[in-house]
Structure 1
Amino acid sequence: MIIDDSLFKSSGDRHHFFPYNERSKKILVFGGSSLVPLSLKRNVSYMLIGNLIYALSQWGIIMVLAKLGSPKMVGGFTLGLAVTAPIILIFDLQLRSVLATDTKEEFSFRHYLALKGVNSFLAILVLGIVIIIGGYKGKAAFVIFLVGVAKLIESVIELHYGLFQKQERMDIIAKSLIIRGCTSLFIIALLITITNSLLIGVAGFCLSWLCLLFILEVPKAKRMAASQSSPLKLVSVKKLFLTSFPLGLVMMMMSLYTNIPRYAIEHVIGTEAVGYYSALFYIVTAGNLVINAIGQTISPRLANYFTKEEYIPFSKLLTKFVCFGFIYGSAGVLLTLLIGKQVLGIIYTQEYVQFQKLFVLLMIAGTLMYAGSFFGFALTAMRKFSIQPILSILWVISTILLSFLLIPSYGLTGAAIVTIITTAIQLFTLALAVMWYLHQAKKQHQLTAYASN
């Protein structure tokens, strides 16, 4: 995406950024241009549109595989996502969130980019080792590897999004999401139609994202970070790694606890069953992209509130969107009960209609997941990173135990029940952690105020 010059205002100082008030909004200067943050309402609107279209496009990929391919093809693609996700996420370190909430400018963008480069190389090596140890061979191994490479490219793109998120310009991210989503859907649909090969389709999917990274994101990042002329320091990169590593561990654990039921399904029932389960759950995941859009938008605002010790606005904003998560998910459950069969028949095939009850159970899990996600964003905005790996380990252990107990006996229904219970545990523990840290912060603020008097 080419940056519209109307987004920027010229500045005489090319080497510093500074606040400037215009309609009570802060302007930040980058490389001779200033970027005006948008209102929270406009940012949420842009991200809802961008993430909705992106979610539909990624959902469209599953639909293409289901309609033009087979449940086994869907299973192969989603198994690739399940195998690669924990590896990609632990090396991702949630650097986008760390960058977006870095209100004190502790690290420059080149430090984030350097760490991302090293981690991407390590992720490729680990992915190859996992494929070999896992016994994946032939086309299946290549599909898994290419899916992993595509997700690595996406993580680099996400880091670039952190620059715009930090400046509360979610419109730039939304436009990029729309372009990337539509392009990847078109490429994979075209290649599957012509070749009927999942491997070729995934290869084209991967290549399209690589091209978009260099055509759209890299030029924008260079322009925005032009003023950051400080030298690259390995000490700072190491400090950034130590700061963000807990979040990488959290994301890996969260991916595991999401995908462990899929591993169990493949082991007990087979790859085709993974395809059915994943296709249904992807609808829930698509809904969560809307939640993520809102969470990414409000994260900088929550971070500012917490840093400035404005705890009442922090609590009000968080409560508002947690309630939204419950309402949003409940509406999905109601629609699934009313028209779930028709939806499955239309977007997939008639083979999927028999799983309508499973669809309802997964939407119930989605409701808990949507509400819990906002507590997760709040915890990151508070920069409370160390507690998150502990919570995620608890979620993984719970998922392993429940999957071992329920999936062999109850099959796909058991997997859905596992998902409901584990998302409830996630919601409860995240809420408890946020309330505890907020209570401690308020207490410390009161003691400081008392001491100063």
Structure 2
Amino acid sequence: MESSPTAPPSLKGGLAWSLAGNVVNGASQWAVLSLIAKLTSTEILGQFALALAVATPIAMLAHLNLRSVFTTDVHRTNPFADYFAVRLWTGIGGLAITLMAGLLWAPFWPVGITIVLAGLYLGIENFQDLWYAAMQRRERLDLVAKSMILRAGLSLSAATALLLLFRNAPAAVGGVVIGRALTFVCFDLVYGKIATNAAHQPWQVFRAALPLGLTLLFISLTASIPRYAVERHLGTAELGIFAAVSSFVTVGSVMVNALGQSAITRLARYFLEDRARFRTLVLKLVAIVAALGMSGALLAYLAGDFFLTLLYRPGFASYQHLLVHMMLAGTVLYTASILGFAVTSTRQFREQLSLVIAVVVTSGMISLFAVPRIGGDGAVLAIAGAATVQICGNLFLLRKAL
């Protein structure tokens, strides 16, 4: 492990660092989306969104949420080497599946290449996330944030340069790959000094994490299925517009993820030691994310057209109504997400899998019937409906655990 004399920051300090890292990283991803919209076309923006919708579920299955398994293992049952072995195996498998998915899109070469490049950058992120877990266990979220800020800057710089040269979707994702790889090699491997013990029981880790990996797969599909429906029924250009509008919710999700990641280790400890403090912290987290979502919806109602024009192009301003609906759905989504962190801290991994299967079925059914009839608003309805089911299930699991 890292041998640093620096004391870990407090919970508030860790949250501040985590928010800084996640917000800068999210802003970088948003900036890449904005650059694609400004420098290319909605068709190319749609290709970018479709490639991510294909590659992300594969990467999430390979991810296995090892970070949460590692940081909530209060008794430190398995060494880091076991987790690294699992990450290596799943990383290779995930990349192989992504390559096959890219080949299926070979006739549409920009999408096929972008799928493969997206799988590569998400695979690198998965390795980074495991290093972040080791830092987080020691509550060194400052190191995690510094890495995220560095990769955001490098990825945005490389993506901007390649977009200016080639003006296509593979160029944008290729720049992100470069930024992720440079950060992992030059920062994470240098400052996240990890003990090099031999792996002992990686299969034990894999068995524990597999339900979480499947959970992440289904959660990712919950978000991707409405996009598949938009592309299928409305076209790639409309998918590009939908992705641009929904990116406002994604920015909030980045902040919610930062909040959840900074609190999950403490939630796990409170769950074992002090159930009253556990309940109090969960309620505070829910209140924060609900306020975040409603503030975003109000801002979208008051000035959504301005922000759509500023970040994308004037033609996007006519989609302000969709943005307002999306931000309202985002409030439901944020609440579901933070409750998911609380359930994960109780280590109810298999129970979460059953829940997200119901969630993805809900997303699929609503998308199937609503998108062909009411367009983008149907996709928003699918997101909100699936998140509502997730909230109900998470509350049931928390009540069961307590």
TM-score of the aligned structures, taking structure 2 as reference length = 0.97
Counterpart CA distance in 2 for 1:201 and 1:406 is 32
Q: Which one of the candidate residues 158, 162, 168 is aligned to 1:191? A: 162
Counterpart CA distance in 1 for 2:234 and 2:129 is 35
Which residue does the alignment assign to 1:441? Answer: none
The 5-angstrom pairing of residues 197-276 of structure 1 reads 197-221=168-192, 223=193, 225-226=194-195, 229=197, 231-233=198-200, 236-276=201-241
Q: Are residues 392 and 32 of structure 1, via their aligned partners in 2, closer, same or farther at CA, if it must alter by over 3 Å? A: closer
Which residue does the alignment assign to 2:100? Answer: 129
Q: Are residues 304 and 136 of structure 1, via their aligned partners in 2, closer, same or farther at CA, if it must alter by over 3 Å? A: farther
Which residue does the alignment assign to 1:412? Answer: 376
Q: Are residues 31 and 401 of structure 1, via their aligned partners in 2, closer, same or farther at CA, if it must alter by over 3 Å? A: closer
**Distance apart, 1:196 and its partner CA:** 1.8
Which residue does the alignment assign to 1:445? Answer: none
Q: Which one of the candidate residues 66, 71, 89 is aligned to 2:42? A: 71
Counterpart CA distance in 2 for 1:89 and 1:330 is 28
Identity %: 30
Q: Which has the larger radius of gyration?
A: 1
Which residue does the alignment assign to 1:4? Answer: none
Q: Does 1:87 align with 2:58?
A: yes
Counterpart CA distance in 2 for 1:59 and 1:96 is 24
**Distance apart, 1:132 and its partner CA:** 3.3
- Which structure is higher in helix share? 2
Q: Are residues 136 and 107 of structure 1, via their aligned partners in 2, closer, same or farther at CA, if it must alter by over 3 Å? A: farther
SS in 2 for 1:38: coil
Which residue does the alignment assign to 2:81? Answer: 110
Which residue does the alignment assign to 1:325? Answer: 289
Which residue does the alignment assign to 2:249? Answer: 284
Q: Are residues 401 and 32 of structure 1, via their aligned partners in 2, closer, same or farther at CA, if it must alter by over 3 Å? A: closer
TM-score of the aligned structures, taking structure 1 as reference length = 0.86
Which residue does the alignment assign to 1:435? Answer: 399
**Distance apart, 1:135 and its partner CA:** 6.0
Q: Is the 8 A contact 1:90 1:251 kept in 2?
A: yes
SS in 1 for 2:266: helix
Task: Give the AA of the match of 1:269.
Answer: L
Give the aligned length. 402
Q: Is the 8 A contact 1:82 1:262 kept in 2?
A: yes
Q: Does 1:179 align with 2:154?
A: no
SS in 2 for 1:274: helix
**Distance apart, 1:131 and its partner CA:** 2.9
Q: Does 1:424 align with 2:388?
A: yes
Task: Give the AA of the match of 2:164.
Answer: T
Which residue does the alignment assign to 1:25? Answer: none
Unaligned runs of 5+ in 2: none
**Distance apart, 1:53 and its partner CA:** 1.2
Q: Is the 8 A contact 1:149 1:206 kept in 2?
A: yes
Task: Give the AA of the match of 2:121.
Answer: A
**Distance apart, 1:204 and its partner CA:** 2.8
Q: Does 1:120 align with 2:91?
A: yes
**Distance apart, 1:133 and its partner CA:** 4.0
Task: Give the AA of the match of 1:318.
Answer: V
Q: Which one of the candidate residues 113, 134, 137 is aligned to 1:142? A: 113
Counterpart CA distance in 1 for 2:43 and 2:156 is 19
Which residue does the alignment assign to 1:369? Answer: 333
Please give the per-residue CA displacement for 1:113-145, whole angstroms capped at 9, x wherever unaligned: 111011111111111223334565423211111
Q: Is the 8 A contact 1:35 1:167 kept in 2?
A: no
Which residue does the alignment assign to 1:302? Answer: 267
Deviates most, 239-248 or 412-421? 412-421
Task: Give the AA of the match of 2:179.
Answer: S
Please give the per-residue CA displacement for 1:340-378, whole angstroms capped at 9, x wherever unaligned: 111111111111111111101110111011112121111
Counterpart CA distance in 1 for 2:107 and 2:247 is 24
Q: Are residues 414 and 201 of structure 1, via their aligned partners in 2, closer, same or farther at CA, if it must alter by over 3 Å? A: closer
Q: Is the 8 A contact 1:372 1:431 kept in 2?
A: no
Q: Are residues 33 and 415 of structure 1, via their aligned partners in 2, closer, same or farther at CA, if it must alter by over 3 Å? A: closer
Q: Which one of the candidate residues 332, 343, 346 is aligned to 1:382? A: 346
Q: Is the 8 A contact 2:32 2:159 kept in 1?
A: yes
Q: Is the 8 A contact 2:45 2:169 kept in 1?
A: no
